Structure 1
């Protein structure tokens, strides 16, 4: 299996305010992911703004806010919503419920690209975990991961006799249940894997792959450096959710598996970067 090697973090990106983007054709999970992205970027959102930017009714926006509030992802206030306290970033379970159908589609499509034996690394995130759930390993597969949920998925595949050898890094736990920081970075520095399955909090033509967590950015860079081939899994809403820190450019990716065709400018940039785009089929 061939691909790019020795990928490094090469740029910094400062978060900027951006519109949520037209969303009249989006599914509920995609709308709610966009609402959370706008909330993180602005520190607060108004119902009227979301109605215009998403292209849906005020009732739909209020219903989405109600769902997100019940999940603990935000706190409703008069006329809109603010981040939930004390953490802005929702936890793994809350994020897993957003766009769950799209993540399952992406998971199935990405799992079909992976070897059943050899060494495969999995980063953190709910979409990456969806790929792990779809993979049927055979004896001889080694999984390297900094994701607690991914490690648990492989542990449950065959309790007590899993055909996969799972290597879980240490580190500091993030809201996404990923292990990051110097301990994780040191562990990953010694590994070389055939394929890396990676997610991102945000994607941008100029900014590349981004995350709001500085330690997670460094650990993701270590994962990229260890991989000969990189499969990025990200739903279409990630193109409207640039985050604080860039950890890789688009040309660090070999294949992008997503649920919808990227925006026109992003599609052009991906082709220029030599990234193969695969849109997961429906159903």
Structure 2
């Protein structure tokens, strides 16, 4: 296969999946790691893809464009691990917590499987799956029903009705973007409505957002920045972002990334 043909095939695969890993492309096309990275470099230079650690995703999402769960899962992996480690320390045995949809919250679910006597409410299929794969007799998982979105969230009136009957100690909210003007946002209108219902059900709101979410704006606002009791982010958040967020959220936690 010629390089141009392979690059076209790679681009089509990324369009179908939202993102791919270098290791998968090496196996699929039977070429070296370096060859695939050169292909991705060419596609990135043409503005067709964004290179991320270990792979690539489609370039330039608009405010209503929603990447799939697989595409988002390969972005900012080190930052997400650091954020999750810090966030897990906020949970105590016996709590009732809610986790929204998102790759960071799904990673957090794996850590929460270790906490005793926990009740977890979620509208995220990956979050529920992470907990079901590590079953504990002393834990309860409540998965709402609803319409499935590209990010594997369950939304719509069924999900909203289920959440409306519950009360939790903490909500861990993953977001698409955050800015002083638009607050916390998502590219999915249905997810925004469910997330607002989750916020109403929680005593405290903890937002998990890496530095790339700063000044990224989705079509629907979930809540203003000052609705967050705690925001956990990573050290690559720019100084101006730290200042503006720090002035509005209850507590800003910035974690170091290895």
- TM bin (shorter chain): 0.7 to 0.9
Q: What RMSD over aligned residues (CA atoms) do the two structures have, in Å? A: 2.7
Distance change >3 Å, CA 129–CA 224, structure 1 → 2 = same
1:175 is the counterpart of 2:158: no
Distance change >3 Å, CA 261–CA 140, structure 1 → 2 = same
Deviations 1:165-216 (A, max 9, x none): 0000001111110111111111100111000000111100111000111111
Deviation at 1:137, TM superposition (A): 3.8
Gaps spanning 5+ residues in structure 2: where? 1-17, 19-40
Maintained 8 Å contact 2:109/2:131:
yes
- Larger RCO of the pair (alpha carbons < 8 Å, separation 6+): 1
Maintained 8 Å contact 1:92/1:125:
yes
Distance change >3 Å, CA 216–CA 128, structure 1 → 2 = same
Deviation at 1:279, TM superposition (A): 1.5
Gaps spanning 5+ residues in structure 1: where? 1-35, 37-57, 75-80
**Which sits farther off after the overlay, 111-120 or 173-182?**
111-120
1:89 is the counterpart of 2:66: yes
1:132 is the counterpart of 2:115: no
Corresponding residue to 1:119 among 96, 111, 120: 96
Q: Which residue of 1 aligns with 2:49?
A: 65
**TM-score by structure 1 length?**
0.68
Maintained 8 Å contact 2:227/2:249:
no
| Runs (4+) off by over 6 Å | none
1:228 is the counterpart of 2:203: yes
Give me the whole-angstrom Cα distance separating, in 2, the residues matched to 1:221 and 1:66: 31
Q: Residue 203 of structure 2: SS of its match in structure 1?
A: strand
Distance change >3 Å, CA 192–CA 72, structure 1 → 2 = same
1:145 is the counterpart of 2:128: no
